[in-house]
Structure 1
Amino acid sequence: MNELRLGKQLKKLREEQKMSEEEVATQVGVPVQNIHKWENNQGYPDIQHLLKLGDIYKTTIDEFIKKDAALQNRINIQEEEREDNDKLLHPGFYIGIGLMFFGNFLSFIIGNLMIMMVTNIAGMLIICFYKEILKLLKGVKKDFYEQK
């Protein structure tokens, strides 16, 4: 499938309308640098700017999104992050608390305070950085499968 990146598509549409980057920037209400970045796939316009660009180029946001897989992935990732942020207590909280309690219990049974200290630190790190740890592990998994 021949996928056209949003930047190439924006540049093509602007040239078809015989407009300069400055003219488009003025109509959209952004600095010229934004138009340049968008057309060179160095960034994406937000939804309001996509709407204005759609009006200027007489096309729809749907057409912009359908032709750019990277933009589709970015939208999906942002939706997943929004869903994650809606959860008050994520699984990492429970894992971290469980590890801390287990370490405290084990420390009192064995009589070694080092176990309690290590498990408390590990538990706090899991609580604080659970989402980042998951992202890291997903990236490692993705890299592993891409190498096969």
Structure 2
Amino acid sequence: MNELRLGNQLKKLREEQKMSQEEVATQVRVPIQNIHKWEDNKSYPDIQQLLNLSDIYGTTINEFIKNDATLQSRINIIEEEKEDDDELFHPGFYIGIGIMFLGTLLSLIIGNLTITMVTNIAGMLIACFYKGILKLLQDIKKDFYEQG
């Protein structure tokens, strides 16, 4: 596929419509600097602005996205982050609660409150930072394999 960056595409469509950057900025309701940045591939419009631009230029958002691999990867990253954020009770939550429960149970059996304190702290850290811990371990693993 012949990749055409969104900015180049926006500029081409604007010129085909014989519009100035000022006219587009007025219709999209953004400062002209935004149009400069978009057409120079220095930034991207948000989804509402893309909708407005697609109306102005008589095209679809799909056409904008299909032709710009960088924009596609940005959208994919944003979607992955949304999926991660939507997951309220991830496995780390259950692991952390389990460790806290096990530590409390062990301290009752053994009679040592230090065990409860240590396992509760460890459990809370795992429950709160599970995704960060997983990412750290994945990065370490990746670095290990790249060096080896």
**TM-score, length-normalised on structure 1?**
0.73
| CA-to-aligned-CA distance 1:43-86 (integer Å, 9 cap, x gap) | 32222211211122232211111112222223233333333444
- What is the rounded CA distance, in whole Å, between the counterparts of 2:66 and 2:144 in structure 1? 26
Q: How does 1:9-48 map to 2 (within 5 A)?
A: 9-48=9-48
Matched residue, 1:62 = 62
CA shift at 1:147, angstroms? Answer: 4.6
| CA-to-aligned-CA distance 1:17-41 (integer Å, 9 cap, x gap) | 3433222111111122322332344
In the alignment of these two chains, the number of paired residues is 147
Equivalent position amino acid for 2:52 in 1: K
Question: Any gaps of 5 or more consecutive residues in structure 2?
Answer: none
The secondary structure found in structure 2 opposite 1:79 is helix
CA shift at 1:128, angstroms? Answer: 2.0
Deviates more, 1:33-42 or 1:56-65: 33-42
CA shift at 1:141, angstroms? Answer: 7.0
- What is the rounded CA distance, in whole Å, between the counterparts of 2:94 and 2:34 in structure 1? 43
Q: Percent identity?
A: 74
Matched residue, 2:97 = 97
- What is the rounded CA distance, in whole Å, between the counterparts of 2:145 and 2:8 in structure 1? 27
Question: Any gaps of 5 or more consecutive residues in structure 1?
Answer: none
Alignment CA distance shift 1:92-1:39 (3 Å): farther
* RMSD of equivalent CA atoms: 3.2
Deviates more, 1:120-129 or 1:23-32: 120-129
- What is the rounded CA distance, in whole Å, between the counterparts of 1:146 and 1:33 in structure 2? 44
Alignment CA distance shift 1:118-1:22 (3 Å): farther
Structure 1 residue ranges, 4+ long, deviating more than 6 angstroms after superposition: none
- What is the rounded CA distance, in whole Å, between the counterparts of 2:2 and 2:145 in structure 1? 21
Equivalent position amino acid for 1:131 in 2: K
Equivalent position amino acid for 1:72 in 2: Q
